[in-house]
Amino acid sequence: MSLELDLRDLAADIAREAGELARRRRQEGVSLAATKTTLSDIVTEADREVEELIRTRLRAERPGDGFLGEESGAASSETGITWVVDPIDGTVNYAYGIPLYNVSIAAVRGVVEPGSWEALAAAVVAPALGELFTAARGEGSWLDGVRLAVSTEVPAGALLGTGFGYDPETHDGDLLTVRRVMTMARDLRRMGAAALDLAYVAAGRLDGYLERGLKPWDMAAGALLVEEAGGRVSLLDVESPRPMLVAGGTLVHGRLLNLLAEES
C-alpha cells in the first residue's frame, strides 16, 4: 500500500477513536478550561484530552513524525512528515451542544506552512453526525466509502459557507466581504467549523467557502478533501495576519477570486 493510503488509514483510525472520546465527553458535560485570544475564543478540557489521545497514538505508530496541534503546540519532524491536528474544530458549537463539530487530522510533508506543505492524507470525523471524511493524495476524497466530488454548476447562484474570527474588531471587514460575495450567492451558511465547511465543499453540500484568519489546523485536512474531490483551494494575503482561504469547484473558486480582487 502507498504511503498516502497508509497515512490516510491511520488518520481515519485515530480520528474515529478521538471522535468517540469527544462525543462521550460532550454527553458527560463540557467544562471550560480557558479562554485564548478573546473571551469568545474558548478551549475545553475535552479539546486538551482529545489532542493528547491523538498525539499519544501518533507517537506510538509513527515516532519520528512531527506534530502541530491547536492545543499542545509543535514538535519537529525527523521523517519529513508532520501531523496537523485540530482536536475539536467547532469548539463553540461543541460547548453549546450544537452537533457541528469535528476532529480534523492531516499528514503533510515538507515545510509546515499552509500553501507550502504537501498534504498527503486527511481525516475529518463529525462524531455527533456519524460521518467520516477521508482523503489521500492522488486517491480521491471519500465519505464513509462513497467517492466525493465538488459541485460544478450553480444555476441559482452558489451556496457559500463562511465564518468570522473571535476578535470583534475584525467583524466589520468580514461582513463587507460577505456583502460583496453575496452578489454571486443563492444563500450563505455559517456553520462554525472550518474543516466541516471544507468537507461539505468536497461533498458538494456547499458550492464554495471563504474565511479569513483560519489557523493551519483548521484548514489542513479539509483543503485536501476539496482538492481530491476535484476542487480548488487558494490562500490569499498570505503575508497578512489574517490570510483569506477560498475553496470551491473551478467555477465558484474563480468567481470568488475575481470578486475578492475587486475588493482589494
Cell of 14: 485515530
Who contacts 26 (Cβ-Cβ below 8 Å, separation ≥6)?
46, 94, 97, 101, 128
Site for ligand LIP in 161-180 (CB under 6 A): 163-166
DSSP secondary structure letter of residue 112: S
Q: Which stretch in 12-20, 55-63, 109-117, 158-166 sits in contact with ligand LIP by CB under 6 A? A: 158-166
| Residue 207 binds to ligand LIP (criterion: CB under 6 A) | no
Is residue 202 helix, strand or coil? helix
| Residue 114 binds to ligand LIP (criterion: CB under 6 A) | no
| Residue 194 binds to ligand LIP (criterion: CB under 6 A) | yes
| Residue 218 binds to ligand LIP (criterion: CB under 6 A) | yes
Is residue 125 helix, strand or coil? strand
Find the length of the chain.
264
Q: Which is nearer to ligand LIP, 85 or 148 (CB)?
A: 85
Task: Tell me the residue number closest to ligand LIP, measured at CB.
Answer: 163
Report, in Å, the least distance between residue 41 CB and ligand LIP: 7
Who contacts 187 (Cβ-Cβ below 8 Å, separation ≥6)?
157, 159, 160
Q: Which stretch in 19-27, 186-194, 235-243, 250-258 sits in contact with ligand LIP by CB under 6 A? A: 186-194
Q: 198: part of which helix (H) or strand (E)?
A: helix 194-202
Which phi-psi region, left, alpha or beta, contains residue 159 (left: φ > 0; alpha: ψ -120 to 50)?
beta
| Residue 208 binds to ligand LIP (criterion: CB under 6 A) | no
Name the CA dihedral angle for 73, 50, 95, 107, rounded to a multiple of 10 degrees.
Answer: 60
Report, in Å, the least distance between residue 25 CB and ligand LIP: 15
Site for ligand LIP in 60-99 (CB under 6 A): 70, 86, 89-91
Report, in Å, the least distance between residue 199 CB and ligand LIP: 11
| Residue 193 binds to ligand LIP (criterion: CB under 6 A) | yes
